[in-house]
Amino acid sequence: MGGSVKIAVIGAGSAVFSLGLIRDLCLQESLRGSTVSFVDIDPERLEMIHRLAGRYAAELGVDLRFEKTADREAALQGAQYVINTAARSHDDEEAERALGEQRGYYRGFRLSWFPNLTLMMAVARDVERICPDAWLIQSGNPVFDGCTLMTRQTSLKIVGLCHGHYGYRRIGQVLGLDPDRIRCLAPGINHGIYATHLEYEGEDLYPRLDEWIASESEQFWRTHQPEYNDTQMSRAAIELYRLLGLMPIGDTVRITGWQFHLDLETKKKWYGPLGGFDSAIGWARYLKRLAERVDRIFTVAADPSARLTEEFPPVPTTEALVPIIAALANDHRGEFQVNVPNRGAIAGLPDDVVVEVPAVVSGWGIQPIQVGRLPARIVLYTLMPRILEMERRLEAFRSGDRKMLLGELLWDHRTRTLEQAEETLEALMALPFNRSMAERLRG
């Protein structure tokens, strides 16, 4: 047994995320007696997740206390861990996407990173003022941009988490191997990580991967009919591996390389019949599945006769969030993939840029493991351009210089003329939910 803590969850109305968090907390014995304070601006979702949490813990006979509030400052009082998963709504993003497509930007041009950064900094400033010794755990995107911004502008203990690195497990499944026996070291930056080491029970897995590519991949791509967006072993992933020399992992596959995203047919060629996660087909399927999942959670939570542990079995998720809190709070030493300031972890990258690397987590804190220097092709082709994009965004956010934002459009491969970029930016700024952003960006 360990010690109890107070955890504040910002954006707790993200029902699927919060359900997984509740299950993991209930199954973590070392955190028994802890208090979880849920915060959300949507009263219906807040009430639902609070009710579900209390019933779930009661069914398992677990000693956890749950609070609910719309007052972020109240939730932060006495908190030792603050989880921020809040972000702009999908409805706003879809409105921006539609506007961008009307102006020649296939799959749109979204500015959700700006309001999300605004929210992240507001949370960080509140934590700095109310509970400055707390760990701030950033789970909402953009993890890379947001954690870099917050670590530069505050003195808080900040860590970003993303589950994309578990993409290596899909490699094992396709190769017919037990994913639990695979060890993958995949450093880089969030949504830009590459397997420098890929082993199966101590054996280098790259030769098996090469053999699969040579003898089985074409058959797999011709016959595989994914029910969902399966990108880890797509043609795009293997093409990036051939180009860069290391296997891209997780979301890296769907984000790196504009050449895979020219139109729907191009996406289908590289990502399969659904066109990948970000195609009109794939994204619509994701939103539909998400809505169905949320509806089901609401339905079960509202039914007092439903046994929650039968509907949502008490099995740990693969998320590292709760195990990391347990490691920090109770000195349970473990190794986890985290997003923290570089400070030499990846040689050759700036120290004040947040990188995604393995780290040792314990009562002493979070110590990133130095992974050395990544291949030049990966650094120069993928990481440095993404770092420069992040720096442009942070400068626009910091300075309020609208021309920095215009530069984002001018760097975009879909932009054909200056006028197209200018008109698109002005149209995006005119959207009602972007009013505060437009007022800040006047330069």
64-98 pLDDT, tens digit each:
999 999 999 999 999 999 999 999 999 999 999 99
Query: How many Cα neighbours within 13 Å face the side chain of 212?
Result: 18
Q: Does domain 6-164+307-327 have CATH number 3.90.1820.10?
A: yes
Q: For residue 205, how many other CB atoms are within 10 A of its CB?
A: 22
Q: What is the pLDDT of the chain when averaged over all its residues?
A: 95
Q: For residue 193, how many other CB atoms are within 10 A of its CB?
A: 32
Yes or no: say if 163 and 249 are a contact pair by the CB < 8 Å rule.
no
d(CA 169, CA 166): 6
Q: Longest Cα pair distance anywhere in the chain, in angstroms? A: 63
Helix H segments across 131-234? 143-153, 168-174, 206-215, 217-223
pTM, two decimals, is 0.96
Length of the chain: 443
pLDDT in tens, 369-420: 999 999 999 999 999 999 999 999 999 999 999 999 999 999 999 999 999 9
Yes or no: say if 217 and 383 are a contact pair by the CB < 8 Å rule.
no
Output the six-digit token pair for 65: 């206390």
Of all residues in the chain, what percent carry a pLDDT higher than 90? Answer: 96
Helix (H, G, I), strand (E, B) or coil at 400: coil
pLDDT in tens, 185-221: 999 999 999 999 999 999 999 999 999 999 999 999 9
pLDDT the model gives residue 226? 83
d(CA 146, CA 128): 16
d(CA 144, CA 375): 20
Yes or no: say if 355 and 339 are a contact pair by the CB < 8 Å rule.
yes
Yes or no: say if 356 and 187 are a contact pair by the CB < 8 Å rule.
yes
Beta bridge partners of 368: 359
pLDDT in tens, 140-161: 999 999 999 999 999 999 999 9
- For residue 372, which phi and psi values (nearest 5 degrees)? 85, -155
Torsion sign over Cα 120, 125, 127, 133: positive
Beta bridge partners of 360: 335, 367
Per-domain residue ranges for the chain? Answer: 6-164+307-327, 166-278, 376-440
Would you report the helix, strand and coil content of the chain in percent, each value rounded to 5?
A: 50, 15, 30
Alpha-carbon distances of 5 from 101, 131, 159, rounded to whole Å:
47, 13, 18
Yes or no: say if 120 and 154 are a contact pair by the CB < 8 Å rule.
no
d(CA 277, CA 254): 7
In this predicted structure, the answer to whether residue 2 has a pLDDT above a threshold of 70 is: no
- For residue 357, which phi and psi values (nearest 5 degrees)? -145, 165
| Closest C-alpha to 193, from 242, 236, 255 | 255
Yes or no: say if 236 and 257 are a contact pair by the CB < 8 Å rule.
yes
d(CA 307, CA 407): 53
Beta bridge partners of 336: 359
Chain centroid offset of residue 287 CA? 16
pLDDT in tens, 221-243: 999 888 777 899 999 999 999 99
d(CA 39, CA 12): 6
Catalytic annotation, residues: 163, 251
| Closest C-alpha to 386, from 362, 366, 356 | 356
